[in-house]
Amino acid sequence: MRFWQDDNGNESSFRIWWMPFIAVVILAFGVVLGLFIREILAQGENVRELFNAMGLTGGTGVFAFLAKALQKYSEKKPQESFEQPTEAPVVIPKPTPLKIVIDRFKENHLQTLGHGGIWNGTKYVFKFVTLELAWKDNKRNISRIPSGEFESVAVPRSSNGEYAILLMNVIDRSEIMIHAGNFHTDIRGCILVGKEFKDLNADGQEDVTESKLTMLELKKRFPIGTRLKVEIR
């Protein structure tokens, strides 16, 4: 039978072979709609690619409407990340700031001897000896300074431009520095550093040797402008 008949028994021009085509279209629409719903629940990426591949996103029909709706939905919904989780970064603690520690151990009426070094919080990384004046009640120009911990800064000396370490907040004193020198007569309250003790001028008093070389070692670790602490015990 090639034609449909209407209610009056007249043959219709609607051919029967259109029926399978309509069924296929309806089936395809159902499949696409099912994919659309499923992929919306799973981010919608695959069905958008499907519409793009079918060339339907640029049209004006139902499929274009569905594609547009999917695009808007997926843009609003946060995308899940499928990247492998990375390990937490290893936090490396900052190194303990270096400081200078001086231990006084011997004194006479003229001078005070000490052992000093650059302390990193657990041990000395560089050792030296120190020479100061004797204690005379912290009087200016004739006495060493009191013990304590002092904020300090590496500076060039105003007198000759040589490297020195200026101790700040020293009670009742000013311009107290760690600097190069060999004899107690080279200082008026400052601190000399050197490699070892030796009576260099045969006056019966201990002096310090290789003072400038020792200051160069301090400069390597505390360049001009470096802030540090000096502890005198």
The count of domains in the chain is 2
Could you give the residue ranges of the DSSP H alpha helices within 55-118?
62-76
Q: Do 110 and 208 belong to one domain?
A: yes
Domain coverage including residue 67: 3-76
Q: Do 123 and 225 belong to one domain?
A: yes
Strand partners, 118: 100, 126
Q: Do 147 and 115 belong to one domain?
A: yes
Q: Do 63 and 107 belong to one domain?
A: no
Q: Do 110 and 201 belong to one domain?
A: yes
From first to last of the 233 residues of the chain, give the pLDDT tens digit.
Answer: 444 555 555 555 555 555 666 776 777 677 667 766 666 555 545 545 555 545 554 555 555 655 565 565 555 544 444 445 455 566 555 555 899 999 999 999 999 999 999 999 889 999 999 999 999 999 999 999 999 999 999 999 988 999 999 999 999 999 999 999 999 999 999 999 999 999 999 999 999 999 999 999 999 999 999 999 999 99
Instruction: Choose among 40, 29, 32, 33: nearest CA to 72.
Output: 40
Q: Do 153 and 208 belong to one domain?
A: yes
Strand partners, 232: 102, 148
State the residue for tokens 């360049």. Answer: 223
